[in-house]
Amino acid sequence: MTDPDQAPDPTERGAQIAAVPRISIQAFCETADMAALVSDVGTERRMARAHMKVHMGGAAAAAEAYRAAPTPNLIIIESSAERAMLLGSLESLAESCDAGTKVIIVGHLNDIVLYRDLMARGVSDYLVMPVGVLDLVRAISQLYTHPSAAPLGRVVAVTGCKGGCGASTVAHNMAWSISRELDVATVIVDLDLAFGTAGLNFNQDPPQSIADAVFAPDRLDANLVDRLLSKCTDRLSLLAAPATLDQPYDLPETAFDGVLDILRGSVPCIVLDVPHQWTAWSRRALAAADEVVLVAAPDLANLRNAKNLVDLLRTARVHDTAPRLVMNGIGLMKRPEIAVADFAKAVELSPMATIPFDAKLFGTAANNGQMIGEVEAGGKVAGLFNDLAHRVSGRVEARRAKRSLLSPLVARLGRKRLAT
């Protein structure tokens, strides 16, 4: 049973909920409040793959509906009935339930005897009203997430508000710091298939790339993804971009779903280097991430685009934290800049980090295929990336994730690639 009073802070709760797989769900509500809640649940980002249908009429309507029709993967029933009546209507529903169908009851009675009776009859969960959107999403998610895969990897998507503003540099340095400072196994996924720089920045030239996963959906599994990863450091691996132009990359919206699902189920932290473009798949990558980091330089075009991105992401991710803002390349001599405070005020976000322009430091790192922390260990800028890593990864979740390196892929990664 869910006790709303004991529930932790919504952002913390949300961060640990795994995406729900492609299941069919039908909800039978008694009240308009519950119907509204279920509709909200259906549009939550973690439910993007699931298919949800809402009906009224509670348990009786459910029993009636499935007398002739097949049952979905999951049935959610709201019931305010007292114990005997609820158990009775469940029994008639059970007669027409297909094998494998799960049932969640949302009730109005906080009654442990009823809870036990329901569990004994095979009900998967019993939630007591009032229930929040994330409470229900979590209850659904937990039914379909294998215990050995929990908690799933945290996805941090990094993108630039304008081309060339340093998004990839921030993504790579932040990921490097997450793996090193927080000791969390991390994978960088370079989604800039044509021009990605992750390989260059880590001085890697892997023979295979993410394209081998995206263009071979039939062969895609944890083993293939494991083979495509190239090791940068003990705890950091790279899923590089092909960075070749022998084919165009007009990818469908769901092109990266398969590979990201595999990574999410097996690596504690996944940093996406999302190129500055607006495609169905790039929008999806940002909307579905656990954290979004927007990198901006202090000029007008960055400001306009940052504002548009923030507005869009706030709407698309109502149950998540706002995107994080990183101001990069601040203080370039003789360049008129928008003051960081003004920029922050305009987009209504205070920057999580403000990184100075430093041509020598960043130029040296880029030319040598090194991270800032390697070029100038202990320096101020390296410290900024460490700080960024702590903030963006939600240290508590990251620590927990690290302890549960249980799934087979991570076990292999741990031995072959990520173990110290």
Q: Does 49 bind ligand ATP (CB under 6 A)?
A: no
Task: Figure out which of the listed residues 2, 79, 101, 168 binds Mg ion, where binding follows CB under 5 A.
Answer: 168
Q: Does 329 bind ligand ATP (CB under 6 A)?
A: yes
Task: Figure out which of the listed residues 2, 79, 168, 266 binds ligand ATP, where binding follows CB under 6 A.
Answer: 168
Q: List 384's β-bridge partners, or say none.
A: none
C-alpha span between 385 and 391 (Å, rounded):
10
- Pick between residue 79 and residue 197 the one whose CB is nearest to ligand ATP: 197
- For residue 37, how many other CB atoms are within 10 A of its CB? 24
Task: Figure out which of the listed residues 14, 275, 323, 373 binds ligand ATP, where binding follows CB under 6 A.
Answer: 275
| C-beta separation of 264 from 18 below 8 A | yes
Q: Does 328 bind Mg ion (CB under 5 A)?
A: no
Q: Does 305 bind Mg ion (CB under 5 A)?
A: no
- Pick between residue 144 and residue 195 the one whose CB is nearest to ligand ATP: 195
Q: Is the sign of the CA dihedral 16, 390, 327, 359 positive or negative? A: negative
Q: Does 173 bind Mg ion (CB under 5 A)?
A: no
Provide the minimum distance between the beta carbon of 349 and Mg ion in the complex, in angstroms, as a whole number.
Answer: 21
| C-beta separation of 19 from 46 below 8 A | yes
Q: Tokens 């996944």 sit at which residue?
A: 270
Q: Does 165 bind ligand ATP (CB under 6 A)?
A: yes
Longest Cα separation, the chain: 78
| C-beta separation of 198 from 190 below 8 A | yes
Task: Figure out which of the listed residues 366, 387, 391, 400 binds ligand ATP, where binding follows CB under 6 A.
Answer: 366
- Pick between residue 164 and residue 217 the one whose CB is nearest to ligand ATP: 164
Nearest residue to Mg ion on Cβ basis: 168
Residue 141: phi and psi, rounded to 5, are -60, -45
Please, which residues have CB within 8 angstroms of residue 30's CB and are 6 or more apart in sequence? 56, 57, 58, 78, 79, 80
Q: Does 194 bind ligand ATP (CB under 6 A)?
A: no
C-alpha span between 346 and 348 (Å, rounded):
6
Q: Does 201 bind Mg ion (CB under 5 A)?
A: no
Q: Return residues touching Mg ion (CB under 5 A).
A: 168
* Contacting residues toward ligand ATP, per CB under 6 A: 160, 163-169, 192, 197, 275-276, 328-329, 355, 357-359, 362, 366
